Amino acid sequence: KEVELIEGHAMLDHVHLVMSVPPKYSIAMVVGYLKGKSAIHIHRKIHGMKKGFTGKHFWSRGYCVSTVGLDEEMIRAYVKDQEHLDKQEELDFTPDPDN
């Protein structure tokens, strides 16, 4: 209830989120909660499963966390533009045939 989603963008194989999390909650607990609830929702909506999620995995085990202070606007812009930036990097990448 006290965790605020400020910015978010879903990619094909990962998600970028900017969130405000009160210090009384551990980041691991918040991420675990989000992964668990979203996986159940996805299994129900997309796979039509009502129960029997034991042993099924949607998200990978890891995650990356960074704290934001004065650069919050820059981080929010990064999250918004990440898909475009990733596609641009793919276009700019030219393999070296000699390597």
Cβ neighbourhood burial of 46 (10 Å; 0-12, 13-18, 19+):
exposed
- The residues assigned a catalytic role are 78
Range of the domain at 87: 4-92
Q: What was the pLDDT predicted at 88?
A: 66
What b/e string do you get for 60-80 counting C-beta neighbours within 10 Å, with b at 16 or more?
eeeeeeeeeeeeeeebeeebe
pLDDT at 73: 78
In a domain, 99, yes or no: no
How far is it, in rounded angstroms, from Cα 93 to Cα 16? 23
Q: Is residue 87 part of a domain?
A: yes
pTM greater than 0.75: no
Specify if 97 maps to a domain.
Answer: no
Residue 40: inside a domain, yes or no? Answer: yes
d(CA 34, CA 44): 15
3-class secondary structure, 50 = coil
Provide the residue-wise pLDDT of the chain in tens; the chain has 99 residues: 799 988 888 877 788 888 888 889 999 999 888 888 888 887 777 767 666 656 666 777 888 888 766 677 777 787 777 777 666 666 665 555 565
Q: Count of domains in the chain?
A: 1
